[in-house]
Amino acid sequence: MNNQTSLYAGRARVCHFASAALALTSLLLISHSAKGDETCSSPYMARIEGQEEFVYVWTLGVEGLGDGADKLVVVDAKPGSPMYGKVIYSKSVEGRNEAHHGGFTDDRRQLWLAGLETSKIFIFDVHSNPAKPALIKTIDNFEKVTGGAVGPHGAYALPGRVLIPALSNAKDKGGRTALVEFSNEGNYIATHWLPTKDTAGVAGAEFADGYGYDARVLPRKNALLTSSFTGWNNYTRNFGDLVKDPQAMKQFGATMVMWDFHTRQPKKVFQVPGAPLEIRWAWGEKHNYAFTATALTSKLWLCYEDENGQWQAKEVATIGGQGGVLPVDISLSADDRTVFVDCFGDGKVRVFDVSNPQQPKQIHEKQIGKQLNMVSQSWDGKRLYFTSSLLARWDKTGDDNEQFLRAYSWDGKELKSKFDLDFTALKLGRPHHMLFGATNIGS
Amino acid sequence: MNLRHFITMLALVGVLPSVAGGDADYVPPVPGTYNLPVIKPAGDGEVIDSQNHSLHLRELTHGRVTVMSFIYTRCAATKACPFATGVLRQLHQESQNDPALSKGMRLISISFDPAMDTPQRMADYSTLARSERPAAEWKFLTTRSQAQLQPILESYGQAVNKRANPNDPQGPLYHILRVFLIDANGNVRNIYSSDTLDPRLVLADVKTLLKERGGSASNVPAVLR
């Protein structure tokens, strides 16, 4: 018997005992499960106990509006608070960086906020005073230390470290890019370039484009899944000009990649045309699948493990009928039954019943604004928050350039407005990624 | 929960594959087929062992591949300290059958509750490590004071808070589960949480580091050309 086998040699002998213990464990975990956290947060992260108290909004600065700088905006979300639904604090960072996504460290003590254009990452302490986060460090040498990755997209908590999927590279500022790891202290650890056609040992390598966007893990399957968008040249370009350039429009990701998470080695490339963006793994104990939406083709895709234990990807629904509505952020409920799909093109959220993940069915849609990008959902599925901005140069113009944070309640059938913040009238900027904060952090 | 009951629970947890990852459904990697980049230097600080001898932690984080778990003995959260100690116990048992592991690996359980976890209590706790056959060294450490402990916690990024309810059935302290893999040169090479503390993965990582001994880890990134 080899060592790895012998590790489990006692399993059979204790199966009855173990079953009882696991049942007890399950009860303990259920009774202590948090109810307030975002459904799309990293599984490695400490959770909010109770309800979210704050919504942190990473906001793009707008020239001539307020101080013009990117900023972290804090909105009070405590029910019954006299400041409920109001901005209670904002902290500007240096300049405009194409503020995009962010994420907490696993202990939830820091919030990392990334700038796509300058490749700066701003690290805030959200532990000492969650209502007034303090900027404690700026990573301003991302390109240099990572070996040429640029466009840090967000931050995904891993144990003691942060995984940052980038969008581009310094060499040609196209879509080839990497996953990068930093320690929670903000020190560089490693760069993992996305696979290309030359990468050995990867199934489907012939389809590989080397592009990246989101990166998320299903721990019990040791599965890391990445998606793909476009490079610096495209996401910093005026959208109207971009869509008129056929060559530029070819420079969008058309793949997802399954990795061995522990070894950080790519294993399989899937053809997913049309820029697959946000990845949402299901939470159920037996649910071995994730959803994504393709921005340019308006499709909902499922990446799933088949009956032979092989990972597959397939299109499972059209979003918004024919013509394309530019689906962007998506949110899967904690019970894996409902997906909310934000559509930038027409400003609607479309809600799908995905209790059968192979056959999603749209059950509701609502006009949220004239443009719509991000959605964050509470763990109990009762509260959703929406923001408007996609990218500084891709947002709509004129009267269509609404910039808002809008909060809704969800009862399983319809969305009802709870509060509405006009970020232009408040001279804040373009609100983008939202993350939940609280003073009570649990297990 | 008294210590005897606690240790009984540990023994139970120790024979389970993994509480948090009990449904872990993947093939663990082959040792030596992947890289473990340096995350940071392992922290130092003054500690005391279960015989009440003072020593510096760095004396125990060099020379062998070390698996170090921050714990407190009053913890009753099944996903936390009992689980971590159960995994270390599995590694310890594994080393009884593997001379390379027995000689090359060290296990450390270090308390972040110095007021309660005295050297004597850690000695009681260490009955877990008793073995009739040669096995990897397993040290049970604590500190003389919170003042001695705090810089160690900070250097490892180990967050610990008091729970609002000191009588919480899971124990009076809240903490992120952190277990550190440290190479023979004193560098942290992996950090495990309750979701990644699969004994098969830890064992593969330990063997990966044992294979590279004599070599040097490099974090110089591959540049896109």
Over residues A356-378, the pLDDT tens digits come to 999 999 999 999 999 999 999 99
What total of structural domains would you count in chain A?
A: 1
Which of B25, B79, B193 has the CB atom closest to A221's CB atom? B25
| Interface membership of A363 toward B (CB under 8 Å) | no
Q: Do B39 and A189 touch (CB under 8 A)?
A: yes
Contact A249, B18 (CB under 8 A): no
Model pLDDT for residues B163-180, shown as the tens digit of each residue: 888 888 889 998 889 999
Q: Do A190 and B16 touch (CB under 8 A)?
A: no
Residue of A nearest to B40 (CA): A183
**Where exactly are the structural domains of chain B?**
3-21+42-194
Contact A121, A155 (CB under 8 A): yes
What is the model's pLDDT at position B18?
A: 42
What average pLDDT does this structure show over B62-89?
A: 94
Report the distance separating Cα A293 and Cα B42, nearest Å: 42
- Collect all residues of chain A within an 8 Å Cβ-Cβ radius of residue B192: 159
Residue type (1 letter), A206: E
Q: How many beta-carbon pairs under 8 angstroms link A with B?
A: 145
Q: Is the pLDDT of residue A3 over 70?
A: no
Question: A91 lies in which domain range?
Answer: 41-437
- Collect all residues of chain A within an 8 Å Cβ-Cβ radius of residue B28: 4, 262
Q: Do B28 and A4 touch (CB under 8 A)?
A: yes
What is the model's pLDDT at position B139?
A: 96
CA distances from A375 to A16, A292, A389, B54, B224 (A): 44, 14, 11, 53, 34
Alpha-carbon Rg for chain A in angstroms: 21
| Interface membership of A190 toward B (CB under 8 Å) | yes
Q: The domain spanning residue A410 has which CATH number? A: 2.130.10.10
A228 or B14, which is more confident: A228
pLDDT, mean over chain B = 89
What is the model's pLDDT at position B223?
A: 79
Which of B29, B176, B219 has the CB atom closest to A262's CB atom? B29
The interface predicted TM-score of the complex, written ipTM, equals 0.91
Read off the pLDDT band of B30 (50, 70, 90). very high
A35 or B196, which is more confident: B196
A10 found inside a domain: no
Q: Do B221 and A145 touch (CB under 8 A)?
A: yes
Q: How far is A170 from chain B (nearest CA, A)?
A: 8
The arrangement of secondary structure in B3-21+42-194, i.e. its CATH architecture, is 3-Layer(aba) Sandwich (3.40)
Q: Is the pLDDT of residue A27 over 90?
A: no
